[in-house]
Each structure stands twice: as C-alpha cells, then as structure tokens.
Amino acid sequence: MASESKEVELDFPPYLKVYKDGTVERLIKSPYVPPSLDDPITRISTKDIKISSNVSARIYLPKITDPNKKLPILVYIHGGGFFGSAFSLMDHQYVSQIVSKSNALTVSVEYRLAPEHLLPAAYEDSWAALQWVASHSVVDSEIEGGKETWLMDYGDFGKVFLGGFSAGANNVHNTAMKAGEEGLIGGVKILGAFMSCPGFCDSKTAKGSDKENELYRVWSFVYPSAPGGINSPLINPFADPNLAKIGCQKIFVCCTEKDELRDINLRYVDALKKSGWNGELELVDVEGEDHCFEAFDPFTEKAQSLISKIGSFIKG
C-alpha cells in the first residue's frame, strides 16, 4: 500500500493515522450499511435524511403495531473517538438492538468527523440535530426541506431521550448540559439520557492508565483549541460549576469492570449526586467486561442484558 511508504505524523490506534502529507487513513474498516425500509430480520424500517448542509441522520422506525400510539424519541449520538460514522455496521447493529428493546423512534446523528472537522463541530452538529427534532413539536414551524413524516406521525415529544457510548456519551452529556442552559425549541424537555462508558478525563487522571493517556491524546488532537484544555468542562465534567443544570429528568450510566475509565465514570455519577441535580440516576456496573463491550458485539448474553436495561430505561 502507498501509505506504508509515507511518514506518519500522528498515530491514534485503533482509529486512524495522520500522515505528514495531510492524508488520513482510518484503521477501523467497519463497512457501510445502507438503510432499508423493511429489514426482514429486525422488522425495523430505516432511512437516511439531511438535516442541514453539515448534518445528516439515519432514522429507525420500529414495527408499528398500534398506529394511534406515539413512540418515545431517541436522539442517538455515536461513539468512536469523534472519528467513526453512524452508518457503520457496528453502529447500525447496536442501534437496531436498542430500537428493538426500547421501541423508540430513533434519530442516529451523523455529525462532522475529526480530523477533517475538529471539535466543537461534533457538538454543534449534535445540538443542531436535537433542535431539529424538537422543532417538529411546533405545529406551524417551518423546517428546511420540510418536516420529517415519521417524527410527525409517530413521535412523542413528551418522551425525548438522548443516548450514546464512549465519545458519543461525552457528547450526550454536553448536549444535555446545553439543553439545560439554553432550552429546546417548542419547550421540549429531555426526559432521559443514557451514557455507556462516557469518555471523560481530567488533569488528575490524564497521566494515569494507558486508556486515560489515549483519551488525553485524542482530546488534545480533536479539540486543540479547547478552552481550558483537559480541564474544559466538555471533557472534564468536574470542572463545571453548573453540573446541576444538566437538562434531563433521569440519567442511566453504564460502566464496566475492565474499562480503565471506570473510576472516572463512577466519580461522574457521584458528582451528579452531589451537584444538587434532582433527577433520577441509575448506575449499571457490569462485571468482567471492557469498554463499551455491548456496542462492539451486541449479541452476547451480557450485551443483550445491558441493552434490555437501556430499553427499559427508555420505556419507563
């Protein structure tokens, strides 16, 4: 391959390599999965839509058994170090399992990816997608490209959720914080948010384990201009004096025994409890598993158990 003879400037396994000539080689080769209006296995319908010039999404519609019953709406923000795609096989399978367990109409956001688009692009795009969803709650609102019929016909805007894993869970936290501080179109409220192994770091742990060092390197690369660096509230929630204002009524956090981010995830849960936020908090700590195991293989017994818990969280 031609890349073998080029000089590597930055190496971020397992995500990508950046060469000195400016080219980028993505190392995770999860194949693209096209949408399907009638998946014969999952019975879930999917389609891809454009939200704006920068943002697209894949919408997942569960099998409709009662056309008069509205469905919870999940805005899903994918992980992958801000490098991966929402349309990959891994994300498509994972989201399909969540949809099956939760029966939620799901909007999986395809935000602009690093390193071509550094942060805060992914945060901005995820916020734009959430506001786009919320705008459908306003009867006479005008939406570029027209309103999305699945949201209008089947979505329950009183049951809006956010969710994601790893970098996506980091994004979920920050999107929920912004919702709490600025509010959503139409007065829509986020009922709940689930975060699996959220990608947080701070100066206390940045020089600790290999995983934390990796996260610190990735953060410095994808957001070199972050105000406060590693102590930005965007990566370090403990630095945010307004943590109690997180804009959702209940939160589900998953961490895993073998994940080197487990400690900071547990500290995040503790910080939420002590912040003055008065919502409901659920923690699931999975024994014997590593970082976001349920996303990498959602069909194992433990993965199915965790995804079922996420589904129950959304169903209420």
Band of pLDDT at residue 87, cut at 50, 70 and 90: very high
Q: Is residue 20 part of a domain?
A: no
Q: Is residue 13 part of a domain?
A: no
Domain with 259, as residue range(s), is: 31-315
Q: Is residue 7 part of a domain?
A: no
Q: Is residue 255 part of a domain?
A: yes
CA distances from 256 to 66, 164, 198, 204, 280 (A): 37, 15, 11, 20, 21
What is the pLDDT at residue 2?
46
Known catalytic membership, residue 259 = yes
Tell me the pLDDT of the chain averaged across its residues: 94
From 100, 137, 166, 232, active-site residue:
166
Average pLDDT over residues 87-93: 95
Q: Is residue 10 part of a domain?
A: no
CATH (domain of 234): 3.40.50.1820
Using CA atoms, how far apart are residues 161 and 130, in angstroms rounded to an integer? Answer: 10
Which residues are 272's β-sheet partners? Answer: none
Known catalytic membership, residue 166 = yes
Q: Is residue 210 part of a domain?
A: yes
Query: What pTM was computed for the model?
Result: 0.95
Q: For the chain, count helices (H), then strands (E).
A: 8, 11
Q: Is residue 309 part of a domain?
A: yes
Q: What is the pLDDT of residues 247-260, one digit of tens each?
A: 999 999 999 999 99
From 91, 125, 240, 259, active-site residue:
259
Using CA atoms, how far apart are residues 11 and 130, in angstroms rounded to an integer? Answer: 32
Q: Is residue 188 part of a domain?
A: yes
Reading the block at residue 57, the tokens are 């999404």
Domain count, the chain: 1
What is the pLDDT at residue 3?
52
What is the pLDDT at residue 167?
97
Reading the block at residue 229, the tokens are 């660096």
